[in-house]
């Protein structure tokens, strides 16, 4: 960490227990603003649990999660309740399995994410009922924003189709676009490339790099697809069995023996050693 | 033939009232997957509030029927909405994250509370209201049978259609409707994109209660008598209507209400009025055997 920059997300001593199972054990890391930070690790390493703590699904057993806005405001995410994380702290997320509003149109999916600005503009429904200019303008602005993102993810022509009818890759990108419509400071993506083919995966990389370049949004990413992780992330945190085993730049992570051991298992000789110890 | 036309008119009127109540059931089910068993009693409270508002207006000298009717509509809708909101706030929201049966039991409790509360506060006897809207049209008049379409029936059907149109527009075209549909599809995800889910759920109850209040006024005008127990029977019928039409589906609730109303009146006319409820519920069972999701319901797709 190059000490001068205030990290956007700081996780300190995060521990999450489910009964006797320790899913995440004393995890500390931080993410710099404007970076794409990747959280990787073998299956069951506790990556999604960390995400669930950050986005308010779980209340961590121990630990602190601090989100700092560029304007200096800070939020303790473990204390905020669900929709307030999006509304006030401006953290947004996507899921491993796609969770679009399948029956609503593509445009409506993005418009729902503009709930809060529209809510303010509509004076909590009242102005909207009266049809005041402030609300109609805000509604138009929301549509413009939705159009901007539809254009970016290349599905403008399908704006009025049900979201569930889109091809898989487009649904993934729509999810990212919907999250971006809440104008987040931190965007958390849980395996955005899961199930994508090489071309769709490349389109997604492009979208994420575009978000990093053009918007003041930092990205926290869980990913299995190493081509995605190594290509776009600036910083990688590796988890194994709920414990952080490495933390650094992609190049350093790639060569880290502990990471290789966690992903590929240990060498044959070591297995022999272990077996000798156990006495089989 | 004459009987048929007359029963058709009666059935549509009754069905409209059921449809209005059924919307409340179906909306709440759609959004939080719970059957609000107290909804029928909210409808009953609406009818009582309307009656009280009528008498109060007469007492302060508002006797012009259209004006009084309009004011009663506003007052009853507003106060009943408050009841709907309170019921949700007190009996369901604290149990939101509890096991699935908890709010259901709480709803049954709330239903009993409302019934007994009205019974104690208003007495158990039937409350009459002198017919406010009289007259009508004679459609067919031969020597044997007269087919009449009364003004009350016209009022009931027209008001219902107008409300349903407004309501469908709200759901399909406004920000509130969009939020509600988002909550219906994925409550958690809606909250993650910033929708205040609790507020949206509250509004669902408020709108459902307002529609139930209108149904209450219609019942009051149509039958001229109400008592503290009307909520139970009407509630069960409207719930049946919602299930018949496909619970969770708004057009389904309207269609289901209409069907239940028609089945009931035709059965009473041609077979026996004692068994009209049996007929309505038998049809429900038959439909559910062949169309488990109701007429317009979508099959539940398991999320992967």
Kindly report the average pLDDT of chain B as a whole number: 89
Question: Is it the case that residue B303 has pLDDT exceeding 60?
Answer: no
What's the pLDDT at B241? 92
Q: What is the pLDDT of residues B31-41, one digit of tens each?
A: 888 889 999 99
What CA–CA distance (Å, rounded) separates B92 from B29? 13
CB atoms < 10 A from the CB of B67, how many? Answer: 11
What's the pLDDT at B218? 92
> Strands A235-240, B136-141: parallel, antiparallel or unpaired by DSSP?
unpaired
Question: Is it the case that residue B302 has pLDDT exceeding 60?
Answer: no
The encoded tokens of residue A194 equal: 């899961």
Q: B203: nearest CA in chain A?
A: A125
Contact B179 A112 (CB under 8 A): yes
Residue with tokens 């303010």, as numbered in its chain: A120
Contact A112 B195 (CB under 8 A): yes
- Higher-pLDDT residue of B86 and B130 is B86
Question: Is it the case that residue B300 has pLDDT exceeding 70?
Answer: no
Q: How open is the CA angle A103-B88-B239, to the nearest 5 degrees? A: 65
What are the boundaries of each domain within chain B? 18-230
Q: B179: nearest CA in chain A?
A: A112
Buried b (16+ CB within 10 A) or exposed e, B88-123: beebbbebeeeeeeebbebbeebbeebbeebeeeee
Give me the percent of chain B exceeding a pLDDT of 90: 52
Domain count within chain A = 2
Question: Is it the case that residue B21 has pLDDT exceeding 90?
Answer: yes
Residue with tokens 């609300």, as numbered in its chain: A135
What CA–CA distance (Å, rounded) separates A53 from A72? 22
Decide: helix, strand or coil at residue B119: helix
Q: What is the dihedral of CA A248, A254, A260, A262, to 10 degrees?
A: 40
Can you give the pTM of this predicted structure? 0.84
What's the pLDDT at A128? 58
What CA–CA distance (Å, rounded) separates A40 from A159? 34
What CA–CA distance (Å, rounded) separates B244 from A84? 38
Lowest mean pLDDT among A121-125, B16-20, B40-44: A121-125
Give one DSSP letter per residue of B246-281, joined into a string: -TT-HHHHHHHHHHHHHHHHHHHHHT-STTHHHHHH
Interface contact A179, partner B, CB < 8 A = yes
Contact A101 B185 (CB under 8 A): yes
Contact A122 B175 (CB under 8 A): yes
Q: What is the pLDDT of residues B230-264, one digit of tens each?
A: 999 899 999 999 999 988 888 899 999 999 999 99
What CA–CA distance (Å, rounded) separates A279 from A272? 10
* CB-CB neighbors (< 8 A) of B195 in chain A: 83, 112, 115
**DSSP-based helix, strand, coil % in chain A, nearest 5:** 45, 20, 30
CB atoms < 10 A from the CB of B211, how many? Answer: 29
What's the pLDDT at A133? 67
For the segment B92-112, the average pLDDT, to the nearest whole number, is: 90
Interface contact B196, partner A, CB < 8 A = yes
What CA–CA distance (Å, rounded) separates B111 from B126? 19
* CB-CB neighbors (< 8 A) of A130 in chain B: none
Distances (CA, A) of B60 to A167, B49, B55, B265: 65, 16, 9, 39
Contact A112 B303 (CB under 8 A): no
Packing angle between helix B39-59 and helix B2-32, nearest 10 degrees?
110
Q: Of A181, A197, A218, which marks where a domain is finished?
A: A181
Q: Of A181, A210, A239, which marks where a domain is finished?
A: A181
Q: Which residues of chain A have pLDDT under 70?
A: 1-4, 81-82, 122-133, 266-280
Residue with tokens 């488990």, as numbered in its chain: B292
Range of the domain at A46: 1-90+183-280
Give A71's contacts (C-beta < 8 A, 6+ positions apart): none
User: Is the CB of residue A115 less than 8 Å from the CB of residue B179?
Assistant: yes
The beta-carbon neighbor of B186 closest among A85, A99, A118 is A99
Which is nearest to A207 in space by CA: A239, A173, A233, A180? A173
* CB-CB neighbors (< 8 A) of B197 in chain A: 82-83
User: Same structural domain for residues A122 and A18?
Assistant: no
User: Is the CB of residue A84 less than 8 Å from the CB of residue A217?
Assistant: no
Contact A104 B174 (CB under 8 A): no
Q: Of A181, A200, A226, which marks where a domain is finished?
A: A181
Q: How open is the CA angle B44-B49-B52, to the nearest 5 degrees? A: 130
User: Is the CB of residue B24 less than 8 Å from the CB of residue B208?
Assistant: yes
Residue A113 is classified by DSSP as: T
What CA–CA distance (Å, rounded) separates B297 from B304? 21
For residue A243, the distance in angstroms to the closest alpha carbon of chain B comes to 27
Give me the percent of chain B exceeding a pLDDT of 70: 98
User: Same structural domain for residues A116 and A229?
Assistant: no
Q: How open is the CA angle B76-B78-B79, to the nearest 5 degrees? A: 65
Is the ipTM beyond the 0.90 threshold?
A: no
Dihedral sign for Cα atoms in the order A207, A208, A209, A212: positive
User: Is the CB of residue B204 less than 8 Å from the CB of residue B31?
Assistant: yes
The encoded tokens of residue B282 equal: 């038998």
What CA–CA distance (Å, rounded) separates A221 from B42? 48
What CA–CA distance (Å, rounded) separates A91 from B296? 38
Q: What is the pLDDT of residues A30-79, one digit of tens each?
A: 888 888 999 988 888 888 888 888 888 888 888 888 888 888 788 887 77
What's the pLDDT at B304? 42
> Strands A62-68, A235-240: parallel, antiparallel or unpaired by DSSP?
unpaired
What's the pLDDT at B53? 94
């Amino acid at each position: 960490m190059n000490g001068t920059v205030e990290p956007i997300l700081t996780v300190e001593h995060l521990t999450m227990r489910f009964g006797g199972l320790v899913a995440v054990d004393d995890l500390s890391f931080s993410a710099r603003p404007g970076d794409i930070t990747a959280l990787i690790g073998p299956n069951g390493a506790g990556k999604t649990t960390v995400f669930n703590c950050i986005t308010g699904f779980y209340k961590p057993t121990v630990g602190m999660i601090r989100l700092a806005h560029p304007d200096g405001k800070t939020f303790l995410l473990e204390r905020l309740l669900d929709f307030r994380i999006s509304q006030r702290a401006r953290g947004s997320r996507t899921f491993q399995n796609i969770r679009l509003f399948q029956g609503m149109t593509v445009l409506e999916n993005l418009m729902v994410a503009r709930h809060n600005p529209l809510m303010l503009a509509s004076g909590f429904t009242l102005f909207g009922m009266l049809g005041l200019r402030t609300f109609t303008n805000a509604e138009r602005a929301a549509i413009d924003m939705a159009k901007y993102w539809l254009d970016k993810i290349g599905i403008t022509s399908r704006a009025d189709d049900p979201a569930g009818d889109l091809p898989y890759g487009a649904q993934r990108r729509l999810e990212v676009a919907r999250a971006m419509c809440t104008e987040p400071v931190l965007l958390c993506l849980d395996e955005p490339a899961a199930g994508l083919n090489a071309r769709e995966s490349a389109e997604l990389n492009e979208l994420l790099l575009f978000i990093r370049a053009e918007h003041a949004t930092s990205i926290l990413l869980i990913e299995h697809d190493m081509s995605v992780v190594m290509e776009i992330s600036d910083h990688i945190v590796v988890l194994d069995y709920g414990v952080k085993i490495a933390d650094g730049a992609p190049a350093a992570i790639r060569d880290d023996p502990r990471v290789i051991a966690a992903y590929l298992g240990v060498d044959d000789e070591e297995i022999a050693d272990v077996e000798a110890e156990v006495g089989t | 033939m004459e009987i048929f036309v007359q029963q058709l008119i009666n059935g549509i009127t009754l069905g409209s009232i059921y449809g209005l109540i059924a919307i409340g059931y179906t909306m709440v089910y759609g959004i939080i997957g719970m059957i609000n068993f107290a909804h029928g009693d909210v409808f009953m409270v609406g009818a009582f509030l309307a009656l009280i508002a009528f008498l109060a207006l007469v007492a302060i000298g508002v006797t012009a029927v259209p004006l009084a009717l309009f004011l009663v509509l506003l007052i009853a809708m507003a106060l009943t909405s408050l009841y709907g909101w309170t019921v949700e706030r007190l009996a369901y929201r604290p149990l939101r994250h509890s096991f699935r049966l908890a709010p259901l039991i709480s709803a049954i409790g709330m239903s009993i509370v409302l019934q007994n509360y009205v019974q104690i506060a208003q007495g158990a006897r039937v409350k009459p209201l002198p017919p406010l809207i009289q007259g009508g049209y004679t459609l067919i008049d031969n020597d044997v049978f007269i087919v009449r379409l009364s003004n009350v029936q016209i009022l009931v059907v027209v008001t219902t259609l107008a409300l349903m149109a407004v309501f469908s527009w709200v759901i399909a075209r406004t920000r509130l409707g969009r939020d509600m549909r988002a909550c219906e599809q994925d409550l958690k995800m809606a909250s993650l994109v910033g929708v205040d889910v609790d507020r949206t759920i509250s509004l669902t109850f408020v709108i459902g209660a307002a529609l139930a209040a209108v149904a209450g006024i219609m019942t009051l005008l149509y039958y001229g008598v109400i008592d503290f127990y009307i909520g139970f029977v009407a509630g069960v019928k409207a719930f049946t209507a919602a299930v018949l039409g496909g619970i969770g589906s708004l057009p389904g609730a309207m269609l289901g209400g209409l069907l239940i109303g028609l089945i009931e009146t035709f059965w009473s006319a041609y077979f026996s009025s004692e068994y009209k409820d049996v007929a309505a519920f038998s049809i429900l069972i038959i439909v559910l055997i062949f169309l488990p999701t109701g007429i317009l319901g979508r099959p539940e797709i398991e999320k992967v």
